[in-house]
Structure 1
Amino acid sequence: MEDMHTNASAGISRRTFISGSAIAGTLAALGLAGCAPKTGTEKEMPATGASASDISWDEECEVLVVGSGYSGLAAAIEAKNAGADVKIIEKMNRVGGNSAFAAGDMAVCGSKVQAREGIEDSVDAFVSDMLIAGLYLNDEDKCRLIAEKSNETWEWSVEMGCTWDKDENGEPWLYPYGGHSIMRTICQSVDGGGSNVTGPLSEKLGEMGVSVETERMLVQLVQNDEGRVIGAIVRDGASGNDVESGKPVAIRATKGVVLATGGFGRDLEFRLAQDPRLDDTVDCTNQEGATAESLKAAVRAGAMAVHTDWIQLLPFMSPDEQGYGVAAFYTDGQASYAPTLCRATGRRMVNELTDRKRYADAILETGEPCVQITCKKAMYGEGLENAMKAGITHEFNSLEEAAAFYDMPADALADEIARYNTFVTNKLDEDFEKPIPDDAQTIDEPPFYGVRLWPKVHHCMGGVKTDLDCRVLDMELVPIPSLFAAGEAAGGVHGACRLGSCATTDCLVNGRIAGQKAAAEAVA
């Protein structure tokens, strides 16, 4: 899961890159316009002051991959497998980006895990679920591509050495993820999460002779006179998110550049320009490197940016810890089995297995953190011990004790839990139509457990516009030659809200495509 860092980034320095009022105005209004005009300033290298035609290159490769999360690692592996000379850089001092801290669950259609459980699924059903969660603002063709390639990509991940959680029989298992109408999410282990994917992929790259070069931050894309991306300016030894730190290095990429740079959830200044509600009082689950400098570089190179003001909040987070923390390892699993209650009324207000936007919006509408209540007998999955140690989850001898602790109306809480128990017994939620798992237990025996929930910034739906070959498109919807993007760096795929467990699928599917297509480019 994402990193447990405490403070939102102060954002990208205003002193950097904005070298003309036209570009500055465009970037300030990125959520509306999403592009920068070709003024010629994109050919001025901040590091050297030289034009693209006479820049002195310090390093050279065929494919330059920027970012070492799911997308970047997958792209680098595929580009190397295709015979390209690959360089992969990472701005932070560790490999994996947000992916290394992610839950790592993966939505897969038509898997052998579904077949073993007798579950029938289809690409159409998968796409429909994504569109519903995204309020039909999604790039439907992209969604279909992700669904179609989900199983072959999961099988590929297993071939690459990635590991997935196992049931009591030693087999991968499925989890009823919110927003999915069919069980298709293959679970990742709580012990390791996304690092069970990024670790093996980075090891595979090492075996192929490619090492992730850390503390190297992209600050500028370099284009020739025809507009083809021929390289990048990076800051070697960059410190955190400071685009003026480190040594400027010019890297020539003779085939292409792949942007796998993630989102901008930690970039407070930039995200405020997209959604003024998300100020510094709203925490973020992302690792501290999730900032917008690479998106700005792509826009200056002519890329269209889309959906930058659609920023997903993760609903099952605790306000009693900072960053991602440990809450979601516990609360997300309980969502299938336990009710979420308004503190003021003691009543449920949402289907706990709806998509993340509807869940988060329902909590936000109450105006204060809500409370998830369960008991030892009804508890599901792992994470309780760590949640107790973190002080976000508390144990009670009775519902009355829980009501007093959270300042909830005791009678209303008792009545609501009793009503919910009838839904569990009858396997029918009469209030919100939440699917009740077959193994769900009534919440009626102490000890009881409670945890407060309050949403945090989690995923940016906005980024550069790409086609099905992961080519970055300009304002005329024409591909920018030799520039590719995948994962959270690519916008518009998930519409208003990404469906849970689809990020891993998206990143791996499109990362692989981006690497393959970049390697197939003609040498500049």
Structure 2
Amino acid sequence: MKRRSFFKIVGFSAAACVTPAVLSACTSQTVVEEETGSDAAAQASYEIADQPEVSFDSTTDVLVVGTGVTGLSCALPLLQAGYQVTLCEKQEKLGGDSYESAGIMYVAGSKIQKQAGITTKVSKLWDQRKAQLEEANYSNIDFSRKLFEASGEWADTLADDCNAVFADPQTYSEEGTNEYILLPKNGIGDMDSVLAPLRDTLTSLGAVFQTGYRCCALIGNEKGEICGARFVSADQGDMKDIRAAYVVMATGGFASSQALIEAYAPDWVRVGCYTVASDGQGQLLCEGVGGQLSGMDNAIILTSDVPPVAAWGYFGPTLDISPLGVRLGREDSMTASARACVVGADGFWWTIFTNALSEGSQSRSVAQTVSSYKTRTYGPFDDLEALASGCNIPLDQLEEVFDDYDSMVDNKKDSLGRTSQWTRLEAPYYAFKQMPVRCLTHGGVTTDDTGQVLSATGQAVAGLYCAGSAAAKGGQGLASNGAFGLLVGRALVEKLDERKSQAETSE
């Protein structure tokens, strides 16, 4: 009698089929493929949590869930090796949160940086980057170093293989500053120059993209291996089951999940969020099939609700001041002032800048931002008295802050930790009003160094991989997440080559 296999829903998440915010409704089921010799049984309907039985709409070698920089980078080596890749994105456009980011990429040792005359050793640049990661309470520092050291190769791969375009570091790297920062072609906020060529290259290599479909469940077989996933359309009018030899979760962090923030970082639950897409769904689905979550306690990164403005301090003189005229944090950081603003319950803060910024290397970003946020931009002000009046800051307090700032610039020493942009602010002054938001998280699904998902006992969850901000070892930024995706893609090429070799031998 012909035997028939039934693939069953594994780690079903009810939240994925409704709205990202209703995570308290999440349930997990562990069900595997069953085989039976009974024709009657073969016709039976197996449903879990009111889910229809599995019926594959398509088959691929690797299914990548998420199309941010991690997912797109993961697909590249697989397609170049001739394997089939399907990438699914819950939003209607590709790129995920990466596309909307400020575009600051922490990269060392790339060709374009070397051509710009940056000869500082990667190991020395790592020491600077390591200090930043430790300040933000990142764990897995050893793996973070591995990704940082691979970031140059990732940038070279995108430039050489995909014609991605980066800005010339000579335009913004001087006096030893910003030597491990790479920007897109047109500077801050221009991730289209990086992601569009990558997307187009994947398309030319045969990638299949599905947008507007949210992953709501993983699918397992009788061996306990993950062998596909179920997706539901945004309006829940359509459902797709996709079969794959391997599934890669590249779904991003959990910054917009109120339930996960309350569980892992309750101090930040009342802070707004920049994105609605980082809902932790990948973490929950991996946990539902036995994957271990780690490193998520208080692993929240805050920034401005207008991220490009938070990045200005890397490239020109700025001053971050509270409504009462108190300097908040080091301006050459995208996170320090936002965190200080929340801790101090200030509600918002001012970023003071001058023509030195608006006429500098990031003039495009300044012009676009000011044009888009006219009601948030104040000035020009010809002197401190006008600035204080325009921003409703006590004049005596503002004058004291500026005196301290000038002294800091002269001595090139800052009690708050600033290490660059030692230039005085000269009138006319401008002020931009910013609010703190959650933007990124670190911690997530526990994996080995190839991205394979691990259980609490350290056992591999067969067929399931995770990379980027969804993984406990990821989340250090765009370039590191891209390098992580590239690493996982290459590891899966080896796995698929091995499977192909075994299949040919058995024949």
Residue 288 of structure 2 is matched in structure 1 by: 300
* Partner in structure 2 of residue 423 of structure 1: 408
Query: Unmatched 5+ residue regions in structure 2?
Result: 1-17, 35-45
1:127–1:40 Cα change, 3 Å: farther
Residue 366 to residue 119, structure 1, CA distance change in 2 (3 Å): farther
Instruction: Pick which of 127-136 and 223-232 moved more.
Output: 127-136
Does the CA-based 8 Å contact 1:472-1:479 persist in structure 2? yes
Alpha-carbon contact 1:378-1:442 (below 8 Å) kept = no
Identify the residue that residue 218 of structure 1 maps to in structure 2: 215
Aligned-partner SS, 2:339: helix
Displacement after TM superposition at 1:363 (Å)? 2.5
One-letter amino acid of the structure 2 residue matched with residue 148 of structure 1: E
Computing the radius of gyration from Cα coordinates, the structure with the larger value is 2
> In the superposition, relative to structure 1, how do residues 205 and 137 fare at CA in structure 2: closer, same or farther (>3 Å)?
closer
SS of structure 2 residue aligned to 1:76: helix
How far apart, in 2, do the equivalents of 1:433 and 1:249 lie? 51
Q: SS of the residue aligned with 1:138?
A: coil
In the TM superposition, residue 199 of structure 1 has moved relative to its aligned partner by 0.9
Mapped partners of 1:480, 1:131: distance in 2: 33
Give, as a single letter, the amino acid of the residue that structure 2 aligns with 1:186: L
1:421-460 equivalences in 2 (<5 Å)? 421-424=406-409, 426=410, 428-437=412-421, 440-445=422-427, 447-460=428-441
Match of 2:183 among 183, 187, 195: 187
Q: Which moved further from structure 2: 484-493 or 64-73?
A: 484-493
Greater RCO (CA < 8 Å, at least 6 residues apart): 1
5 Å-filtered alignment, 1:50-449, equals: 50=53, 55-115=54-114, 116-123=116-123, 125-126=125-126, 129-130=129-130, 132-135=132-135, 137-159=138-160, 160-166=162-168, 174=173, 183-188=179-184, 189-190=186-187, 193-235=190-232, 237-239=233-235, 245-253=236-244, 255-279=245-269, 281-286=270-275, 288-315=276-303, 317=304, 324=305, 327-334=306-313, 336-344=316-324, 346-354=325-333, 356=335, 358-368=336-346, 369-377=348-356, 379=358, 380=360, 381-382=362-363, 383-389=365-371, 390=373, 391-395=375-379, 396-424=381-409, 426=410, 428-437=412-421, 440-445=422-427, 447-449=428-430
Kept in 2: contact 1:223–1:301 (CA 8 A): no
Percent identity of paired positions between Structure 1 and Structure 2: 22
| Contact 2:331 2:418 survives alignment (8 Å) | yes
Q: Secondary structure at the match of 2:267?
A: coil
Q: Say if 1:257 and 1:518, in contact at 8 Å, map to a contact too.
A: no
SS in 2 for 1:520: helix
- Asked if 2 retains the 8 angstrom alpha-carbon contact of 1:351 and 1:433, the reply is yes
TM-score, structure 2 normalization: 0.81
CA shift at 1:302, angstroms?
0.7
* Deviation of 1:431 (Å): 3.7
Distance 1:429 1:491 in 2: 35
1:477 match: secondary structure: coil
Structure 1: gaps spanning 5 or more residues: 1-8, 24-37, 240-244, 318-323
Question: 1:148–1:82: structure 2 CA closer, same or farther, 3 Å change rule?
Answer: same
C-alpha displacement of 1:348: 2.3
Going from structure 1 to structure 2, the CA distance change for 1:128 and 1:332 (only over 3 Å counts) comes to closer
What's the TM-score once normalised by structure 1's chain length?
0.79
Contact 1:311 1:457 in 2 (8 A): no
The total of aligned residue pairs comes to 458
Aligned counterpart, 1:11: 20
Shift of 1:165: 2.2
Per-residue deviation, 1:269 = 3.2
User: Does the Cα contact within 8 Å between 1:106 and 1:186 map onto a contact in 2?
Assistant: yes
- Residues 1:68 and 1:46: Cα distance change in structure 2 (over 3 Å): farther
Tell me how far apart the structure 2 counterparts of residues 295 and 108 of structure 1 sit (CA, whole Å): 27
Change (3 A) 1:430 1:88: closer
Q: What do residues 66-114 of structure 1 show as CA deviations (whole Å, max 9, x unaligned)?
A: 1111111111121111221211111111111111111222211223454
CA distance in 2, matches of 1:387, 1:17: 39
What is the CA RMSD across the aligned residues, in angstroms? Answer: 3.1
C-alpha contact (below 8 Å) 1:126/1:147 kept by paired residues: yes
Distance 1:89 1:305, change over 3 A: same
Distance 1:408 1:329, change over 3 A: same
Partner of 1:517: 491
Q: CA shift at 1:449, angstroms?
A: 0.7
> Are the aligned partners of 1:229 and 1:257 in contact in 2 as well (CA < 8 Å)?
yes
Corresponding position of 2:6 = none
